[in-house]
A and B are shown apart, each in its own frame.
Chain A
Amino acid sequence: MTEGKQQLIFKHWLQEHKALLFKVVRTYAFSETDRDDLFQEISIQVWRSIPNFREESAVTTWLYRVALNTAIRWNRKEQKHQDGRQAFDDTKHVLQKNNQPNEERLDWLYQEIAKLDEIDRSLCLLMLDGFSYRKMSDILGISESNIGVKIHRIKKHLINKSEQVKSHGI
């Protein structure tokens, strides 16, 4: 594959699926600098993965797999090297926040997802984006039945949490 073609595919994927990447970034990184760093890391891995994409799966499935895997690894690295992160002060930030009205309920949802462990966070993202158990299994490499039980547990947990928020009048 030529670099030009790779660049074209990359730009197209970024344009079409940026919301998916932002969801992963927001789930695993909690400051603007970290989000910028993680987004760059995911972008690099997406770029590298393009020659390996064989169209056996949907682009979204592929992107989720690359993005989640990168985010989990990044998360582990960040926990270990909080101070060792490369600074990007010499360049402009890649992500520029759009002016949006505050969506409290979405913020709450992200906060609750952030409290889950890294694997359950991945499952939760895929679940909320409507992926089937089969596709989740394709992305994560674990059995559908195992996914089913985990998803049931996460759903129950989130619903319980939302009830608690309601009962506190928030």
Chain B
Amino acid sequence: MEFDEMKKIWDTQNNEPLYAINEEALHRSIRSKKKRAARLTNINDFGLMAIGIITAIIYSYLSIINEAPTIYDYLIVATLVFGTGYLWVGRVQRKKQEQTLARTMLGDLDHAISSVAYEMNRSKNMVWWFVLPSVILIFLNMSQEGVSVWKWVGVAFAFALSALILRWDYNRCQKPKKQKLEALREKLIEETGTKPL
């Protein structure tokens, strides 16, 4: 069969579309998907920020108001507030990025890759700039107070778990996602002749 004949076969579907669209169901679905996606993102963003702020408030209340605060107490609260601020800035930046739409498929892929890279950086930074400083400050504070060994173990376990979850998210979710997008990008721009059909 020649290519022109294939094109004729292809064009037959222009006059008689294969489907009819149930517009009411489509609009309902679009509305519900939009709401679901926005709700999930908001729960994720505001949930993490609420944890940061509530923890900071509780810690302030327990350490600063009830007892004689040490420098470490102030620093722990500052770290929690800084971490929450970092999440807020990330949310604002992501919202801004969502408003812009790249003109080509390659542009869209670049956009998607940079979004994943941003998420990966966030996971990494959370370990180095949030979890680790918090651990150090809390341990320093605890060493001055002479707390029980169980408290040491409990706090160490909680932080190890946080670091592991962030690491897992980085290695198992974000990294493969980025690699797949990059592979797709490579495939799109690959010079031909390298891979036979």
Q: Which residues of A line the B interface, CB within 8 A?
A: 11, 14, 18-19, 22-23, 26, 39-41, 43-44, 47-49, 52, 65, 68-69, 72-73, 76, 88, 91-98, 100, 103, 105-106, 109, 116-120, 122, 128-130, 138-142, 146, 149-150, 153-155, 157-159, 162-163, 165-166
B9 within 8 A of A: yes
Q: Which residues of B contact A41 (CB under 8 A)?
A: 33
A41 to B101, CA, bound (A): 16
Q: What are 10 of the A-B contact pairs (CB < 8 Å)?
A: A19-B13, A22-B13, A43-B26, A69-B109, A92-B25, A95-B19, A97-B19, A141-B105, A141-B106, A157-B197
Query: Given A43-B30, A141-B104, is A95 in contact with B22 using a C-beta cutoff of 8 Å?
Result: yes
Interface residue ranges of B1-51 to A (CB < 8 Å): 1-3, 6-7, 9-10, 12-14, 16-23, 25-26, 28-30, 33-34
Closest CB in chain A relative to B195 CB, distance in Å = 9
B89 within 8 A of A: no
Closest CB in chain A relative to B3 CB, distance in Å = 5
Interface residue ranges of B112-137 to A (CB < 8 Å): 112
Is B17 touching A94 in the complex (CB atoms < 8 A)? Answer: no
Is B17 touching A118 in the complex (CB atoms < 8 A)? Answer: no
5 A-B pairs closest in CB distance: A141-B106, A141-B104, A162-B1, A149-B192, A52-B101
Closest CB in chain B relative to A77 CB, distance in Å = 10
Q: Which residues of A contact B3 (CB under 8 A)?
A: 155, 158-159
Other-chain residue from A49, A130, A140 in contact with B105 (beta carbon distance below 8 A): A140
Other-chain residue from B14, B101, B197 in contact with A19 (beta carbon distance below 8 A): B14
Which residue in chain A gives the minimum CB-CB distance to B187?
A119
New A-B contacts (7) at CB < 8 Å, excluding given A97-B18, A158-B6 = A76-B180, A96-B22, A119-B187, A141-B105, A141-B188, A154-B197, A159-B2
Query: Given A40-B33, A154-B197, A158-B3, is A142 in contact with B18 using a C-beta cutoff of 8 Å?
Result: no
Is A117 touching B104 in the complex (CB atoms < 8 A)? Answer: no
Query: Given A68-B105, A119-B184, is A40 in contact with B6 using a C-beta cutoff of 8 Å?
Result: no
Is A146 touching B25 in the complex (CB atoms < 8 A)? Answer: no
